[in-house]
Amino acid sequence: MNDAVEDLIALLDLEQIELNLYRGHSPETSWQRVFGGQVIGQALMAAYRTVDEDRICHSLHAYFIRPGDPKVPILYEVDRARDGRSFTTRRVIAIQHGRQIFNLAASFQVKEKGFEHQAPMPTVPAPEDLPTDRERREAIMDRLPEEMRTHFARPRPIEMRAVSPQQFIDPSPADPEFKVWFRSAIPMPTSVAMQQSVLAYASDMTLLDTCIRPHGVSWLSGKLQSASLDHAMWFHHPFSTDDWMLYVQDSPSAVGARGFNRGSIFTRDGLLVASVAQEGLIRYRG
């Protein structure tokens, strides 16, 4: 099995240490702070551990409060806010060093039938016709400082192929839109809880980059401070992260050192399976 995927599965397989209390860890390859998508995925998995199996998460809303420390475990405390006839609500607090670093509210629903409509998926090149993210990274490896190379070249559990990518170094300004195909590097466990947690993890990988595209800056410059401030997801249909999905992202606004981003996630055959919104911190010290 791909080691990076094995690590992601292990990250999401939380240890229960008491009723409503779970412990998660970070990979040894974490750099400076815990990746936001990891905390979202772990918190969603903690919530799932307290919910009846016939209920599926349809939405989550989260706030990043403090940077996560990758050197120590994260405790996830679940508040069983409500168990209703159709909906279940959970609140999850992530704790390190005795303080909240993150909180999440998630709602779960029994399956129901109702009206259906969706926005269409845009027409883009197929993933097989695009360079891999790894190929793009390897092409500039010799231009990076030594201390960045290991982190930049590390194996990743999510394979990505970008449509109209910017350069990693000295990018030219571009429209505040970004489309990328992605899938898990190898098949993942098929449970709904795992699939949604993996998608939540992946949804934070490229979204914040969208709001800096018009400004021609790169985090590799060392001059950009960026971090997710909040994150929201709505799950519309079942999906498999083993299959290629298209992440269509745009940024309607950047103001006050904050960038707002939206995303729509489609299956390869055009089914809209999830929607995402996020605001992030973007400070440039040129």
Known catalytic residue at 167: no
Residues 92, 104: contact at Cβ < 8 Å? yes
Catalytic residue among 204, 209, 250, 251: 204
DSSP string, 208-275: GGGGGGGGT--GGGS-EEEEEEEEEEEE-S---TTS-EEEEEEEEEEETTEEEEEEEEEETTS-EEEE
Could you give the residue ranges of the DSSP H alpha helices within the chain? 3-12, 36-48, 133-138, 146-153, 192-203
> In 3-state terms, what secondary structure has residue 21?
strand
Q: What is the DSSP letter of 118?
A: -
Residue 211 has phi, psi (to 5 degrees) of -80, -10
Per-residue tokens: 211: 């709001």
Catalytic residue among 96, 184, 228, 249: 228
Residues 276, 263: contact at Cβ < 8 Å? yes
Known catalytic residue at 278: yes
Per-residue tokens: 67: 């940077």
Q: How far apart are CA 235 and CA 243, in angstroms?
A: 17
Q: How far apart are CA 210 and CA 261, in angstroms?
A: 7
What radius of gyration do the chain's Cα atoms show? Answer: 18
Known catalytic residue at 118: no
| Residues known to be catalytic | 204, 228, 278
